[in-house]
Copies of this chain bind each other. A is one copy, B any other.
Amino acid sequence: MKHLNLLLIFLTLILFSCSEQINQKSEPLPSWNEGKNKQSIINFVNEVTDEKSPNFVKPGDRIATFDNDGCLWSEQPYYFQLQFALDRVKVLAPEHPEWNDNPLFKAVLENDIKTVLSFGEHGLLQLVMTTHAGMTTEEFAQIVKEWINTAKHPKTNKLYKEMVFQPMLELLDYLRANGFKTFIVSGGGIDFMRPWTEEVYGIPSDQVVGSSGKVKFEIREGQPVLVKLPEINFIDDKEGKPVGIHQFIGKRPIAAFGNSDGDLQMLQYTAAGEGKRLMLYVHHRDAEREWAYDRESHIGRLNKGLDEANKKGWIVVDMKNDWKVIYPFEMK
């Protein structure tokens, strides 16, 4: 009898560890305030995972795609990847005395961001090309890892990777616990995101879709390596997002999450599939805890997308009212 009891305890322990996943379902999205938006998400998940529902979707087809900048982490006062590029220019400057005669690079070195931004998209592209090419893919990944683990945001004085949205982390977990495969589909650089998305979001590198430069296979000192070239391969933004989804994932998502007009085509493409769909925009309306911007912003503009979301009844998350906290560090 004593042995039986011990065995029973042992088996019960195993049962509990087995049912851990099931238990996770019980209290989803704790950092989301109760209300229409939270309930819509939960209703959607319940419906597509209920085998008796006409809208049931088998696990392999439960594809959810997330924009990164402004959707999973902040993007103000400008994209964090731009800050990375600016920091790299400063690190590399001693090897490039000629940059002092280049008005764009000179402005970077003088911390004159206004002038940097005045060069527009072409200027930013030039900065990215210069700082994201000329090394092997593995060397670049190492540089990104060092930056993401040390560089701090000027406003919060927190690491950039700490400025991710707690409610979105919970949403990623909740979807995965319900058999979804979660992907990033971002205009940001794929090689800039992959070194840290697994640690920060639980999203492995092969589930990250993004913009990319060309790479070239080479044998260097007898070792095969991939060298990053200063040449665009793919821009994963606007019409590029559904294209990227097709090329990388090969299935139409049933749920898509964004925050700007750059995500509109991804949400349209998701909405147009058969059965129940979830389209969600994160609306930045919290000037105190994060930032407030939409139709007029140069970074993360949400204008056409907001109109379409309202017209089509997509979920528009109000960061101020829907989210109890913004960042994980607020909870400590």
Copies in the complex: 2
Identify the stretch in A127-135, A145-153, A215-223 within 8 Å (CB) of chain B at 4 or more residues: A215-223
Q: Is the interface of A mostly helix, strand, loop or mixed?
A: helix
Contact A206 B250, CB 8 Å, known A226-B243, A243-B226: yes
Q: How far is the CA of A217 from the CA of B225 in the complex (A)?
A: 34
- Cβ of B181 and Cβ of A206 under 8 Å apart? yes
- Judge if A113 is at the interface, Cβ distance under 8 Å: no
- Cβ of B204 and Cβ of A60 under 8 Å apart? yes
Identify the stretch in A103-111, A264-272, A283-291 within 8 Å (CB) of chain B at 4 or more residues: A264-272
- Cβ of A242 and Cβ of B226 under 8 Å apart? yes
- Cβ of A247 and Cβ of B212 under 8 Å apart? yes
0 or 1 for each of A174-206: is its CB under 8 Å from B? (1 = yes): 000000010100000011001000100000111
A contact residues, total (Cβ < 8 Å) = 48
Inter-chain contacts of A303 with B (CB < 8 A): none
Q: How far is the CA of A289 from the CA of B63 in the complex (A)?
A: 40
- Cβ of B205 and Cβ of A217 under 8 Å apart? no
- Judge if A251 is at the interface, Cβ distance under 8 Å: yes
Which of A4, A205, A216 has the most C-beta atoms of chain B within 10 angstroms of its own C-beta? Answer: A205
Q: How far is the CA of A206 from the CA of B208 in the complex (A)?
A: 11
Inter-chain contacts of A216 with B (CB < 8 A): 239, 243
Identify the stretch in A11-19, A25-33, A82-90, A159-167 within 8 Å (CB) of chain B at 4 or more residues: A11-19
- Cβ of A215 and Cβ of B246 under 8 Å apart? yes
- Cβ of B7 and Cβ of A268 under 8 Å apart? no
Q: How far is the CA of A4 from the CA of B7 in the complex (A)?
A: 11
State the Cβ distance, A137 to closest chain B Cβ, in Å: 6
Inter-chain contacts of A265 with B (CB < 8 A): 217, 224
Interface residues of A (CB under 8 A from B): 4, 7-8, 11-12, 14-15, 18, 60, 137-138, 181, 183, 190-191, 194, 198, 204-208, 212, 215-217, 219, 223-226, 233, 239-240, 242-243, 246-252, 265, 268-269, 271-272
Query: Can you list 8 A-B contacts with CB-CB less than 8 angstroms, sorted by A residue number?
Result: A4-B4, A4-B8, A181-B204, A205-B251, A216-B239, A217-B269, A226-B246, A248-B248
The 9 A-B pairs of least Cβ separation, nearest first, read A205-B250, A11-B11, A217-B239, A194-B250, A206-B249, A224-B268, A224-B269, A224-B272, A217-B242
